[in-house]
Amino acid sequence: MPSTPQYRSNRIRGRRVRRSLHSDINVTPMVDLFLVLLLVFIMTASNLLPTVPLDLPKTDAESETLQQDPVTVSIQLDGSIFLNGEPIELERLADALAANSPKGFEEPIYLQGDGQADYQDVVEVMSRINTAGYQNLRLVTDSIRNE
């Protein structure tokens, strides 16, 4: 026997009135949830990349889009060095790069130095990265067009 949908019925003055099935989906809670998730994502997106306060040198070179989860080495004005936003000593930089580079020596290393930092500090860091075996070194600058 084929199954038929069950309907509720009411009797109004001896007549039988059939109600039809309503299969509406209430999407309001789902939209609310997505809006909340969008707000959370927007508020936390700026905190995903490690940031070290730097005054980057200004150039009019074309900008490049950063890859996802880049390996960044930062040099502040006072000569302090940061790897992915965490302070590190120059002597430990090569070992820490090996631990943070999933692609090995092919991993692009983004070097960002304060525009007023001592040139000797920047050259020492570049030398350590180069002698560690990393040849894909990219310098990060600020665009003059952003001002």
CATH code of residue 100: 3.30.420.270
| Residue 41: count of CB within 10 angstroms of its CB | 10
Instruction: Round to whole Å and give the CA distance between 55 and 103.
Output: 29
Domain, as residue range, for 20: 9-45
In a domain, 2, yes or no: no
pLDDT value, residue 10: 56
Q: Are 71 and 96 in contact (CB under 8 A)?
A: no
Q: Are 17 and 8 in contact (CB under 8 A)?
A: no
Size of the chain in residues: 147
Instruction: Round to whole Å and give the CA distance between 83 and 93.
Output: 8
Q: How far is CA 84 from the centre of its chain?
A: 12
Instruction: Round to whole Å and give the CA distance between 118 and 123.
Output: 9
pLDDT value, residue 4: 56
In a domain, 100, yes or no: yes
Same structural domain, 15 and 79? no
Residues of the chain with pLDDT under 50: none
Instruction: Round to whole Å and give the CA distance between 141 and 79.
Output: 17
Question: Tokens representing 25?
Answer: 């989906």
Instruction: Round to whole Å and give the CA distance between 5 and 70.
Output: 58
pLDDT value, residue 7: 52
pLDDT, tens digit, 9 for 90 and up, residues 128-138: 999 888 888 88
In a domain, 125, yes or no: yes
Question: Tokens representing 95?
Answer: 């070992």
Which residue in this structure is represented by tokens 């209430």?
Answer: 26
In a domain, 106, yes or no: yes
In a domain, 53, yes or no: no
pTM: 0.59
pLDDT value, residue 69: 77
In a domain, 94, yes or no: yes
pLDDT value, residue 92: 92
In a domain, 52, yes or no: no
